[in-house]
Amino acid sequence: MDTLVKAMTKNGAIRILVTDTTQTVQEAASRHKTLPTASAALGRTLSATALLGSQLKDKDESVTVQINGKGPLGTILCEANMVGEVRGFVANPDVILINDETHKLDVGKAVGKDGTLRVIRNTRMKADFTGTVELQTGEIGDDFAYYFTVSEQTPSAVSLGVLVGKDNEILASGGLLIQMLPSASETDLLIAEDVVKHLRPISEMIHDGMTPDSIALALFEDVEIMGMSTVKFKCSCSKDHLLDALSTIDRDELEIMIKEDKGAEITCHFCNTTYQFTEDELTRIHRKS
């Protein structure tokens, strides 16, 4: 099972979050039948959303990430809660772009950078917190680093990566967040900058067998592991929830579904699960409305 580790330097100056999301991203890619570049973009966003979710304070809270750079992928939308349950989708899963120079998946071009990254913290209060920044590169990791620094005023380094195999399988996926806390000194900042400068790609470290805790411990000399949790793809959709949604639509639309379509079929965007509703089920909803 995928894991996420929270760590901190012993002087309390630097916060570190590391997650291995290989199985989670594999399930997402399988559910949405994404091609390699779409898999990489969705996987990076799922990892980042899991990192954000781990910072929530209450089990009833959630965080939503929306990215749209007006590139071929369209919108990427992911959600997570504090217990490591994540879900997400990409509007156009049929994207494969290779960079001509690096010969690697060109996530930046697929996402585009003429758009925004939006983070919504759903706190179950009257007003949710929403932070929005302009995309800088479309590479997603750089854009999240910019988001943390500008929107949350926390200098941060973010590494997100997905290694996709020849048969479109997810070989490794993960995310890393390094943040400077208010007590950080100039020396702490210089140490962190040197670590980031020599940082290996997170997907490469995971593919080489490193675990989130071993990655965190290897970054700085004085790291303390503060906690570990699991991460998994889990969608909150259900037939009962969709029945409730159907009960809110216009009676005339229900009648069309009953008389002309003889039922209905609804697919969840987040997990690609399809639910069938019979004519009788729709008729019962129609009678109650």
pLDDT score for 264: 81
pLDDT score for 289: 65
- What is d(CA 209, CA 227) in angstroms, rounded to the nearest whole number? 20
Q: Each residue of 144-187: pLDDT tens digit? A: 999 999 999 999 999 999 999 999 999 999 999 999 999 999 99
Please list, in sequence order, all residues whose beta carbon lies within 8 angstroms of the beta carbon of residue 249, skipping any fewer than 6 positions away. Answer: none
Domain boundary among the residues 207, 233, 259 is at: 233
Q: For residues 78-88, give the mean pLDDT.
A: 97
Number of structural domains the chain divides into? 2
Q: Do 49 and 188 fall within a single domain?
A: yes
Residue span of the structural domain in which 40 resides: 2-233
Please report, for the domain that includes residue 251, its CATH number.
3.90.1280.10
Q: Is the pLDDT of residue 261 over 80?
A: no
Q: Do 222 and 255 fall within a single domain?
A: no
Q: Do 88 and 202 fall within a single domain?
A: yes
3-state secondary structure 236-280: CCCHHHHHHHHCCCCHHHHHHHHHHHCEEEEECCCCCCEEEEEHH
Q: Do 202 and 277 fall within a single domain?
A: no
pTM of the model as a whole: 0.93
